């Protein structure tokens, strides 16, 4: 119609004045049409929802499975007891050997015997501290503690708590004694070993999974013996008499033992003053690994020493 002025409106992006029917702004090179969201077909979002629900169910099942895998027994395994009497030697030492215990448990394959400061009623807490577990995890199941023996000084401390565990397979516990042996007099000490049937494969697998990929960082910094004094080390954790040379082998049982202690609930209780390092040197034909910590129990690094306190 004559005399009518065309309507104009502004670009919502740059503010330029544009004709009413414009769908594109030549000033900012952007579209000015309002886009409507395209409706998603019902069958597609329902299909997507099914996948989300399926993934949620799988995740929940995995969490439940993990919880069941790590579920601890409610206490120590029950069973009948077998009294075993040990004779201390002239130095007051009581020694447990697989050869002697075979008289009572003919099917045993290996044992673990040590003093313990634990007071737990959960057998798993003692198993993860055992040389058997350390050997299994460090060797990825290729080795066990066959031939190992243990001892403690009954003469100097009759209240010592000990943990004796008897295995008839790599991950099967057939008997145990945890507590203070009974003094029968004449240097004889009795342990009432509980006969049990406990498969701890789940525990071994959980420990191995936690260990793999996590231990390397703790053993990435080597501190030579001559630098220990200047390293700032105040505390140390010592390993086993299992080193065969100055180089720490990946399958050495003391790797898991040290890693487990360092990341345990109370590593400070296991630490010793660095001034006492020479008291805990290995026997003549072995090497021992030590984790060195500062005054706040932070890891500084590790070292390897022989029986004279020398490095490689």
| Residue range 91-142, pLDDT digits in tens | 999 999 999 999 999 999 999 999 998 999 999 999 999 999 999 999 999 9
Q: What does the pLDDT read at residue 9?
A: 56
Instruction: Give whole-number Cα distances, 84 to 35, 54, 63, 166, 176, in Å.
Output: 85, 55, 43, 13, 11
Strand partners, 189: 86, 183
Q: What does the pLDDT read at residue 156?
A: 74
Q: What does the pLDDT read at residue 75?
A: 85
Tell me, yes or no, whether 115 and 147 share the same domain. yes
CB 233 within 8 A of CB 294: yes
**Is residue 312 in a domain?**
no
Tell me, yes or no, whether 194 and 250 share the same domain. no
Tell me, yes or no, whether 158 and 219 share the same domain. no
**Is residue 163 in a domain?**
yes
Q: What does the pLDDT read at residue 13?
A: 60
How many structural domains does the chain have? 2
Q: What does the pLDDT read at residue 45?
A: 43
Of the candidates 209, 238, 267, which is a domain's last residue?
209
Tell me, yes or no, whether 197 and 219 share the same domain. no
In sequence order, which residues have a C-beta less than 8 Å from that of residue 78 and are 6 or more positions away? 194, 196
Q: Domain containing 126: what range?
A: 81-209
Q: What does the pLDDT read at residue 66?
A: 34
Q: What does the pLDDT read at residue 155?
A: 74
Of the candidates 209, 237, 258, which is a domain's last residue?
209
Tell me, yes or no, whether 138 and 227 share the same domain. no
Q: Can you tell me whether residue 90 is helix, strand or coil?
A: coil
Q: What does the pLDDT read at residue 279?
A: 96
The residues of the chain scoring below 50 in pLDDT are: 1-7, 34-38, 40, 44-45, 51-52, 54-70
**Is residue 199 in a domain?**
yes
Tell me, yes or no, whether 104 and 188 share the same domain. yes
Of the candidates 172, 192, 209, which is a domain's last residue?
209
d(CA 86, CA 191): 8
pTM for the full model? 0.73
Q: What does the pLDDT read at residue 47?
A: 52
């Amino acid at each position: 119609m004559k005399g009518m002025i065309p309507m104009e409106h502004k670009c919502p992006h740059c503010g330029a004045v544009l004709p009413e029917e414009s769908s594109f702004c030549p000033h900012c090179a952007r579209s000015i049409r309002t886009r409507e969201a395209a409706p998603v077909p019902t069958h597609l979002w329902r299909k997507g929802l099914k996948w989300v629900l399926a993934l949620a169910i799988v995740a929940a099942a995995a969490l439940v499975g993990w919880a069941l895998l790590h579920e601890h027994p409610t206490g120590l395994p029950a069973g009948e007891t077998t009294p075993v009497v040990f004779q201390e030697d002239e130095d007051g030492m009581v020694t447990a050997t697989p050869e002697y215990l075979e008289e009572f448990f003919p099917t045993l394959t290996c044992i673990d015997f040590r003093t313990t400061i634990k007071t737990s009623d959960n057998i798993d807490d003692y198993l993860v501290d055992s040389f058997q577990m350390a050997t299994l995890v460090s060797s990825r199941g290729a080795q066990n503690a066959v031939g190992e023996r243990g001892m403690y000084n009954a003469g100097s401390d009759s209240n010592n708590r000990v943990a004796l565990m008897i295995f008839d397979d790599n991950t099967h516990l057939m008997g145990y004694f945890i507590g203070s042996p009974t003094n029968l007099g004449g240097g004889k000490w009795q342990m009432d070993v509980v006969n049990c049937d406990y498969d701890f494969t789940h525990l071994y697998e959980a420990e191995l999974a936690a260990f793999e990929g996590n231990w390397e960082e703790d053993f990435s910094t080597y501190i030579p013996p001559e630098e220990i004094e200047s390293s700032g080390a105040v505390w140390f954790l010592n390993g086993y008499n299992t080193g065969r040379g100055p180089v720490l082998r990946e399958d050495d049982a003391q790797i898991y033992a040290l890693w487990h202690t360092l990341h345990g609930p109370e590593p400070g209780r296991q630490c010793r003053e660095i001034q006492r390092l020479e008291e805990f040197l290995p026997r003549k034909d072995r090497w021992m690994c030590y984790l060195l910590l500062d005054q706040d129990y932070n890891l500084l690094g590790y070292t390897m020493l022989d029986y004279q306190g020398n490095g490689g």
